[in-house]
Chains A and B, each alone.
Chain A
Amino acid sequence: MLQFLLRRLTVAVLVAITVMTLAFVLTRLSGDLAISIAGPNATQADIEVVRKAYGLDRPLVTQFFDWVGRALTGDFGNSYFFKAPVSSLIAERMPVTLTLGLTGLVIALVVSLPLGIVAAVRENTALDRVVQLVALLGQAMPSFWLGLLLMITFGLQLGWLPISGTGSWQNYVMPGIVLAFSAIPALTRLTRAGMIQSMGSDYIRTARAKGLSRASILLKHALRNAAIPVVAIAAVQLGFMLGGSIVIEQVFALHGVGFLAWESIGKNDFPVVQAVVLVLAVIYVALTTLADLMNAVLDPRLRGP
């Protein structure tokens, strides 16, 4: 177990460094950062001041190592626009994004698991086809468009839900549904496939031979084994949701990390953009590690003899 964690940690660090390098290169792509920061009306003198102030006159390599060094301690520098430490900006906004992501995941699971089970139990019947169709429709749906449609219907025409801001839990319903839509197809298919395989296995035949109740066979024996890959994928899907939240946060005006990134991109606020990319990457790696850990917890065979 310890070995596994150490190995994962190494991977995480390597990924983080690679992403940091990429992010660094990314922000230096357009050429002279000082010009971008100083703005269109700056004079040459202004630009030089900016250059010195942000340490942009040093060699690139120095800038890079300086940034990496500080990033490893959690210091992502200061935002050019907000004039505040980037780490605190991200920390402020993270709860919104996390809430959004978790809401989306919960909704996705609440929908996918029963759908997948029902489709598996009624394999090859009309109901199964309907579930598979629903999964297909979810896959084709553009998330931002769905968000707008929900806004128009439930926010404006019916007035049931608020269309922007983060005041109460109702604010997270529509965005959560939209995010869930992106994960439901994959989770439903996986649950269905896992249940079909599980139900066809020898230990289910044994369970039936023991005279156990239908519910017990389905939920206690079959689902337990089918759920193992689903749980792992759910964690990964959460990672994708967090990464993809930028669109939803923009549509619903939720002030989370994605929204922050969006604003910063618009203002060429590079420290923020770099930091957000890095943070999201690290979270993704952490989630996949968590997924693997959960696999080990749920499947006794992985724990060793």
Chain B
Amino acid sequence: MSALLEVDRLEVSFGGRTAAVRGASLAVERGETHCLVGESGCGKSVTALAVMNLLARGARRRAERLAFEGQDLLGLSDSGMAQLRGNRMAMIFQEPMTSLNPAYTVGSQMTEVLRRHRRASQRVATDRAADLLARVGITAPGLRLGQFPHQLSGGLRQRVMIAMALMCEPRLLIADEPTTALDVTVQAQILRLLAQLQRDLGLGMLLITHDLGIVARVAHRVSVMYAGEVVESAATAELFARPRHPYTQGLLRCVPVPGRIRRDEPLGSIRGTVPRVMPGFEGCAFRERCDFADATCSGTIPRHAAGPTHEFLCRLPA
């Protein structure tokens, strides 16, 4: 059986100038949380938007394969895609403060999804909306349905967004940095909620984040992205135990672990900065910052397998 979401060598460029994504490949299985992790600007959000075909007008996307539940998404028209969005695949975003329409009530924004995709009546849709609000831990759902977004806090709004995404019982939930804009305590709550919903509903989840801590907590599989490419992917435990790509290794070194790091030991960092990659770039984007780089790093980089589900993109042997 095919994976829930298959992405094979996705490329996205804007106006021919910037190659935001140069080769992202990943697969999300049913009931699995797959984290796409990387620093700001590496192209992870663009990847998610490209999957949902929500890119801005000047963007071009291309891929070997982009499929959802076995169905090809690349050739799908915008209206065909609109049938899937909010319905079988849903997405929540980073900024809950601005992601809801200020002019309409929470209730009307939630019910319109169900009414659009399932032709449900207002009554049925309202009931479901109330159910879901309760499910995501919002008290007095009936009251909230009649409120406007500006009357809710950031954490509440994000919960509303999650509930809204679940209205039509999607199979896949894409969450683009859902907790980044929230307070730390709220972050933990939202993550717990997402993990719980995933277990209860058997959702496949693609979670975009820059925070390795989140990855460690909720991910079953991880894909590490750098300068528009997925450079390593593995099961979470495997990645943290045996990172193979120098970038991943560098990242993990940067995270201070209480108890393991000594007092006068300097914090880890990766020297250099993320390069701006133009279309037509050859070779490994990390080579300027890599301690193991040599001349062959400017050529084609092979993809190695370091285990049955562990892949990485580097000339170094597995």
Contact = CB atoms under 8 A, between A and B. Distances in A.
B144 interface: no
B117 interface: yes
B82 to A, nearest CB: 5
A224 B104 contact: yes
A129 interface: no
A202 B161 CA distance: 12
B98 A300 contact: no
A211 B83 contact: yes
Contacts of B148: 300-301
Interface string A209-244: 111111010000100110000000000000000000
Interface in A254-305: 298-301, 305
B177 to A, nearest CB: 13
B251 to A, nearest CB: 29
B100 interface: yes
A212 B103 contact: no
B279 interface: no
Interface stretch (B87-95, B124-132, B301-309): B87-95
A203 B98 contact: yes
A225 B103 contact: yes
A58 interface: no
Given A202-B93, A205-B54, A301-B150, A210 B98 contact: no
Contact of A221 (B82, B84, B90, B101): B101
A212 B52 contact: no
B84 to A, nearest CB: 7
B116 A213 contact: yes
B86 A210 contact: yes
Nearest to A202: B98
Contact of A209 (B52, B112, B151): B52
A52 interface: no
B172 to A, nearest CB: 12
B136 to A, nearest CB: 16
B102 A211 contact: no
A62 interface: no
A155 B109 CA distance: 51
A300 B93 CA distance: 23
A28 interface: no
A298 B103 contact: yes
B91 A209 contact: yes
Given A202-B93, A301-B148, A301-B150, A212 B116 contact: yes
B85 interface: yes
A208 interface: yes
B113 interface: yes
Nearest to A303: B148
A103 B202 CA distance: 59
Nearest to B83: A211
A150 to B, nearest CB: 39
B164 interface: yes
A211 B150 contact: no
Given A210-B164, A212-B82, A203 B100 contact: yes
B102 A203 contact: yes
Contacts of A210: 85-86, 90, 112-113, 116, 164
Contact of B102 (A209, A214, A225): A225
21 contacts: A202-B93, A203-B101, A205-B54, A206-B100, A206-B101, A207-B101, A209-B52, A210-B113, A211-B81, A211-B83, A211-B86, A211-B116, A212-B116, A224-B101, A224-B104, A298-B103, A299-B102, A300-B102, A300-B103, A301-B102, A305-B150
Given A209-B52, A211-B116, A305-B150, 12 more contacts: A207-B101, A208-B54, A212-B82, A212-B86, A214-B79, A221-B104, A224-B103, A225-B103, A300-B102, A300-B103, A300-B148, A301-B150
